[in-house]
Structure 1
Amino acid sequence: MSKLAEAIRDLEDELALQIVEEEIAQGRNPLDIVAEANEGLVMVGDLFGEETYYLGELMFSVEIMESIMNKLTPLLESSGEGQGNKGKVVIGTVHGDIHDVGKNIVISLLRSSGFEVIDLGIDVSTGDFVDAVRDIDTKVLGLSALLNTTYPEMKNVIDALEEAGVRDQVKVIIGGTICTEAVREFTGADAFATQTMAGVEFCNEVYS
């Protein structure tokens, strides 16, 4: 376990930011720093699932990650090979959830990896997701959420894509610390990701 992951797991915000600053100064690849930070965030998610941590701790870890990404995003974007060359990805936080840190991290990584990302924002209605798939030439739709109460809404979106006759146009990936294989099966998504880089890898596979 890296020192950064451990600091995030233990919710030591000042230490985590100090470690990030040191790693930036040492010339570390920003993607490697994100991977370390994400490792800590996943561990917080596991502790939340075990009821060792509660929603307050989970939200605080997300705030720590947001502060880290504020430092890393400019480095990620400047290291990209060009935006929009690989293809388009549509992403949004589903209706009933206003959390966007995880979504924004994935967006930064996707853009730095050469994808054009259409961000629908937070609390996105089912109809807006369907319209985006219908109107935008994309092969990937990302549904993001933090709250486990949004499982049914993810399923609603995928069911609506079926009803609109556009489900076969896209691969749907659901993302967030709450996502599991069981949630993927329930919603009908093609994949799930609890780690940000897994989402990027999925998009690379779809567009390869």
Structure 2
Amino acid sequence: MSALAQALKDLDEKSVYQLVEDKIKNGTSPLDIIAECNEGMVGVGELFSSGVYFLSQLIFSAEIFKNVMNMLEPVMPKSGPGVSVGKVVIGTVKGDIHDIGKNIVANLLRGSGFEVTDLGVDVPAEKFVEALKETGARVLGLSALLNFTYPEMKTVVEAVTKAGLRDKVTIIIGGAPCNEQVRQFTGADYYAEDAMTGVNICKKIYS
């Protein structure tokens, strides 16, 4: 684990900002910096899952990461006018208000040149369908942190099918309770075990 990832995992706010500042000055790619932070956030998630960290620490880590993204904003790669790698609709499903992982994925996608429609948290199935119709996006990302909400992912997949969009949209799921079994249960196309995997799947779909 890199020094930056470790500092974020340890919730050492001062060290995180200093390391990010140094990396920006040294010309490190903002996407590489985000990837290191993502590794740290995964570590925070593991400590939360094992009961070492509590919700307050999870929220604090998200706040640190948000501030890092603000620091990186001026140096993030920008797509040219009208240029887009592809369109992605993303959101946390109904019944879940967690957005740390979703926000990491959305920021990585934007940094990679994707147009991202982020619907936020506690999103009902019909809102996902509506956004897909409005944007014409070929990728839908569904996030859930609470394991009792993953059946809602199945509801969203069914709603997309009912709307006649299933053959046009690739659905990716992600979040703490998700695995290959959950993917099969929901009917999604892919399960992303981390943020970078999700981004790489999107790149593959639009390549």
TM-score by length of 1: 0.87
C-alpha distance in structure 1 between counterparts of 2:71 and 2:193, whole Å: 22
Unpaired stretches in structure 1, ≥5 consecutive residues: none
**1:162 aligns to what?**
161
Spell out, residue by residue over 1:25-78, the C-alpha distance to the aligned partner (whole angstroms, 9 max, x if none): 2221111111111111112222233333333332322222112112113322xx
Distance apart, 1:170 and its partner CA: 0.7
Alignment of 1:8-47 (within 5 A): 8-47=8-47
Residues 38, 104 of structure 2: 8 Å contact kept? no
- CA drift of 1:178 comes to 4.0
Count of residues paired in the alignment: 206
Q: Work out the CA distance in 2 between the residues paired with 1:74 and 1:175.
A: 28
Q: What are the residue-to-residue correspondences of 1:74-113 with 2, within 5 Å?
A: 74-76=74-76, 79-82=77-80, 84-113=83-112
* 1:94 partner amino acid: V
Identity of aligned residues (%): 55
Gaps of 5+ in 2: none
> Which is worse superposed, 12-21 or 1-10?
12-21
State how far apart, in whole Å, the 2-side matches of 1:68 and 1:194 are. 22
CA RMSD of aligned residues (A): 2.1
Cα distance 1:178–1:40, how it changes in 2: closer, same or farther (>3 A)? Answer: farther
Counterpart-to-counterpart distance in 1, 2:90 and 2:154: 15
